[in-house]
Amino acid sequence: MSGAAVVVVGSVNADLVVSVRRLPRPGETVTGGSYARHGGGKGANQAVAAARLGARVAFVGAVGADDFGHEALGLLAADGVDVSATARLDDVATGVAVIVVDERGENQIAVASGANDALTGDAVAAALRSLLPAAGSSPAANPDGTRGVVLLGHEVPEEAVLAGARAARAAGWTAILNPAPARPLPDGLDGVLLTPNADEARALSGEDDVEAAARALAARTRAPVLVTLGGDGALLLDGDAPERLPAPEVVPVDTTGAGDTVNGALAAELAAGRPLRQAVGFALAAAALSIRVAGAREGMPRRDEVP
């Protein structure tokens, strides 16, 4: 892949979505809902978001040799994502997410990781050797010195994340880690841009204040940190002074894919050589558009739709 490029190392699921009037309490059954099935997985969603915004995208992950896996890869390919480096595993099922969404757009999600948990560091390293330029090869294509972006997530094993970070570093590409769900950060993430939401930032840092959390995480990675704040936008720490960036106001229908849209859009913009702050503003606008439609991917915008 040459020029602006994004390689996503992450999860791919089948999303089974039930829409109800309100979310159930523990032990409660809420009836009268509607059902739909969508392509999902945070990594796959982020790949779709980046592709719809004009990036050349490849996806590195794993699915089972089942109908859900075949359908999941077909949906990615239909959005222009290169799935040639995605493993098809015979002895494990494709990941599944069960999502309940209420009439305000809030959600509850339970995930059976399946093949996502079987993605190894060796498999990621081998895939990225074919997708990224070798260390010391031709000069970077973009004005800011980057060749592209490797976008990582926590819905695959730690060894897969670290293999992706190492490959990005060796190729001179930008690495982004969306640490969702939150789990302890390993060593080896120097230079990796973190994009937690507020709850994840607190869990990862041990700090209650979101600015203090961002500072603690930046000290750990020696890289910028972007903390997403839902309808309140985001906090960007790039240097000494944190900056609050607002999100456009919209009426939410389903917030399921908002964070994935932020990450995919951010990766696409950085791969195109945009400055970080500008890329974040664009990503927040894209995410605001995405939550006006039910489904994690259904509302993800094309580039000409983003103001």
CA dihedral 81, 86, 92, 93 (to 10 degrees): 0
Pairing of strands 242-245, 234-237: antiparallel
For residues 155 and 158, give the distance between their C-alpha atoms in angstroms, rounded to a whole number: 9
Cis peptide before 275 (omega within 30 of 0): no
Reply yes or no on whether 260 is catalytic. Answer: yes
Cis peptide before 181 (omega within 30 of 0): yes
Residue with tokens 């050349």: 56
Q: Which of 37, 97, 92 is nearest to 62 (CA)?
A: 92
Q: Write down the catalytic residue from 66, 82, 254, 260.
A: 260
Positive or negative: CA dihedral 213, 285, 290, 262: negative
Tokens at 137, concatenated = 């090869």
220: amino acid identity, one letter:
R
Which residues are catalytically annotated?
260
